[in-house]
Chain A
Amino acid sequence: MSAAFADALLRPDAPCPAGLKTWNGSDPAQRFAVYRNNVIVSLVDALADSYPVVQALVGEDFFRAMAAEFARGNPPRSPVLAWYGAGFADFVADFPPAAGLPYLADVARLEWLRVEAWHAADADPVPLAEVGACLADEAALPALRLTLHPALRLLRSAHPVVSLWAAHQAEDVSAALGAVDFADAEAALVVREGLDVAILHIEAGAAEFVDKLLRGAALGEAAQASGPFDLPAALGLLLRSGAVVAMTPSRRAP
């Protein structure tokens, strides 16, 4: 029973499943449509909640149609809907009607990282006093390993994703969008500050640096192997955002 019912839920052209009845002999297909529509509407609503800027960029009608197409082919595998839509960006990248907006998939990737950051585990930032204590042993600094917050995420894009995203948080979205240079490649740092998730634009070299820290490189190693960037500014950003949760000395020099 459930197999036929489930199959017909996701295929709009499938006939109403057999074996349904109504008290007045009316066509059960119209009543079945309540279920069929609710499944898709609720999944599209879940995607709209996670991808508000993608929706704003393409408009509600296009977004809902695109999201419904995604939902039919990719129903959730888990009842925890917070995590529904992880693959949406890849779907958008390969969705021909959206091909004229080459930045759209990366905006979706950025919004997904925001969802991940929103629900990630909690961790207390390292107290500034502890950072100060580390400075006492100057020679050991390059070998320090920073543990970054579980909510921290990084995205490096060939498109101006942070500017596009930020423009949609502005009061005058049109004006903000007018100022975006589409030739810009941008890197985003996604951090949870207290109860809010912030998206920050960081320079390419700083993004490389954070990426290496995330992979476990020591400070010196990570900084040396990255393109040019403002090290004090990058460290200041991480500390101020509460993104550093531990500083561990390591014996091995870089």
Chain B
Amino acid sequence: MTNANPHRPIRGGAKAPAALPKRGGVGLKPEHFRHILDAQPDIGFFEVHAENYMVAGGPFHHYLERIRADHALSIHGVGLSIGGEDPLDELHLDRLAALLARYQPESFSEHLAWSSHGGAFFNDLLPAPYHAGTLARVCAHIDRVQERLGRRMLLENPATYVEFEASTMTETDFIAEVVRRTGCGLLLDVNNAYVSCTNHHRDARAYLRALPLAAVGEIHLAGHAREVDAAGAPLLIDSHGAPVAEAVWALYDFALSLVGPQPTLIERDNDLPAFAVLAAVARQAEIVMARHAKLEVAA
């Protein structure tokens, strides 16, 4: 893992935890808890949504504790609303700090999006305009998160369906500036990049090249659904309910040509298949990684 900005150490600085292995990982779903404990699969890492484990006890913690004991872990938040206009929810940050203290994950990540406004939580990753005001808020929020958690976080690029007239920056410039100012890392969601670039008619490879790639600490791969907008143009939906599309595998291959092998998560939240299916996709990612590892050595 590389630090994008060595001049700006993370405040509150506990020593950096071990990094995720540069292997394929799988999103941990309760439907697979028992199978994973019984079968002990060889998986690079598991990733959980932080909010699902913000409960006192019971089966979720029972299984996560046991699975975590044998595997690397990434905790992925979906509720901080880092892109929101509301102040950060300090109570939520406390819950997150407690969860991280309990499980000591190798990685913590969140989204460039908002999900709360006026005290209501919308349970969706909503888009924000890219301008100086949002930039200042997002950076202040990430500074606070990294300070409170005592660690560097990764920020995930979003899948979006609309753009804002008020935007004055491109998404890639916005993300690059956030990384530069806060020292956070980048969780490169290749499916999100593909979905957004299709939805906004951009060149996905140029989009990837314009990101602060030195900050990449993890990659996400997922499936999307295909619809059309009011003019009949393709509108891709980040559904996490289908196999990873061929075009996304190709973009992943291209991304690795730029950043080399990276911890790569297979995300699946809808129409969940058997665990073995997801494990096979994680191995597929490792095959692509192995090819790029050889290229790195050759170069």
Q: Is B a genuine binding partner of A?
A: yes
Chain A positions within 8 Å of B, measured between CB atoms, are 1-3, 5-6, 9-10, 19-32, 34-35, 38-39, 42-43, 46, 75-82, 117-122, 150-151, 192, 195
Could you say which of A22, A79, A195 has the most chain B C-beta atoms within 10 Å of its C-beta? A79
Total number of A-B contacts with CB less than 8 angstroms? 146
In angstroms, Cα B118 to Cα A34, docked, is 21
A25-B231, A75-B122, A81-B123 known; A31+B161 contact, CB < 8 A:
yes
Query: Which candidate, B39-47, B48-56, B247-255, is the interface stretch facing chain A?
Result: B48-56
Can you list 26 pairs linking A and B with CB atoms under 8 Å apart? A2-B126, A2-B128, A3-B117, A20-B165, A21-B164, A23-B163, A23-B233, A24-B229, A27-B230, A28-B162, A31-B230, A35-B124, A35-B126, A39-B122, A39-B124, A75-B122, A79-B115, A80-B51, A81-B51, A82-B54, A117-B58, A118-B58, A119-B55, A122-B56, A151-B57, A192-B58
A20-B162, A24-B231 known; A119+B58 contact, CB < 8 A:
yes
> Which residues of chain A have C-beta atoms less than 8 A from B120's C-beta?
6, 10, 75-77
Which one of A2, A29, A151 contacts B85 once the chains associate, using CB atoms below 8 Å?
Answer: A2
Besides A23-B201, A24-B229, A79-B115, 16 other A-B contacts (C-beta < 8 A) = A1-B164, A3-B118, A20-B165, A22-B162, A22-B200, A27-B230, A30-B229, A31-B199, A31-B229, A34-B161, A79-B89, A79-B123, A80-B51, A80-B95, A119-B57, A150-B56
> Which residues of chain B have C-beta atoms less than 8 A from A119's C-beta?
55-58, 60
> Which residues of chain A have C-beta atoms less than 8 A from B27's C-beta?
none
In angstroms, Cα B118 to Cα A78, docked, is 11
Taking the complex as formed, is B194 at the interface, i.e. its CB lies under 8 A from any CB of chain A?
no
A6-B117, A23-B163, A192-B58 known; A34+B123 contact, CB < 8 A:
no
Which one of A2, A9, A43, A80 contacts B54 once the chains associate, using CB atoms below 8 Å?
Answer: A80
* Interface size band for B: 35 or more
A29-B230, A34-B235, A150-B56 known; A79+B79 contact, CB < 8 A:
yes
> Which residues of chain B have C-beta atoms less than 8 A from A46's C-beta?
123
A2-B85, A20-B163, A80-B95 known; A43+B229 contact, CB < 8 A:
no
Q: Mark B103-125, 1 if CB is under 8 A from A, else 0.
A: 00000000000111111111110
In angstroms, Cα B127 to Cα A30, docked, is 15
Look across to chain A and name the residue whose beta carbon is closest to the beta carbon of B167.
A21
Q: B79 contacts A80, CB within 8 Å?
A: yes
In angstroms, Cα B230 to Cα A2, docked, is 23
Taking the complex as formed, is B24 at the interface, i.e. its CB lies under 8 A from any CB of chain A?
no
Taking the complex as formed, is B62 at the interface, i.e. its CB lies under 8 A from any CB of chain A?
yes
Q: B56 contacts A43, CB within 8 Å?
A: no
Taking the complex as formed, is B142 at the interface, i.e. its CB lies under 8 A from any CB of chain A?
no
Q: A1 contacts B116, CB within 8 Å?
A: no
User: Distance (Å) between the CB of A75 and the closest chain B CB?
Assistant: 4
Taking the complex as formed, is B25 at the interface, i.e. its CB lies under 8 A from any CB of chain A?
no
> Which residues of chain A have C-beta atoms less than 8 A from B119's C-beta?
77
> Which residues of chain A have C-beta atoms less than 8 A from B95's C-beta?
80
Q: A19 contacts B57, CB within 8 Å?
A: no
In angstroms, Cα B123 to Cα A43, docked, is 7
Look across to chain A and name the residue whose beta carbon is closest to the beta carbon of B270.
A45
> Which residues of chain A have C-beta atoms less than 8 A from B57's C-beta?
119-122, 150-151
Look across to chain A and name the residue whose beta carbon is closest to the beta carbon of B55.
A119
Q: Which residues of B (46-86) have their CB < 8 Å from a CB of A? A: 51-52, 54-62, 78-81, 84-85
In angstroms, Cα B80 to Cα A78, docked, is 10
Which one of A9, A24, A32, A39 contacts B161 once the chains associate, using CB atoms below 8 Å?
Answer: A32
Taking the complex as formed, is B92 at the interface, i.e. its CB lies under 8 A from any CB of chain A?
yes
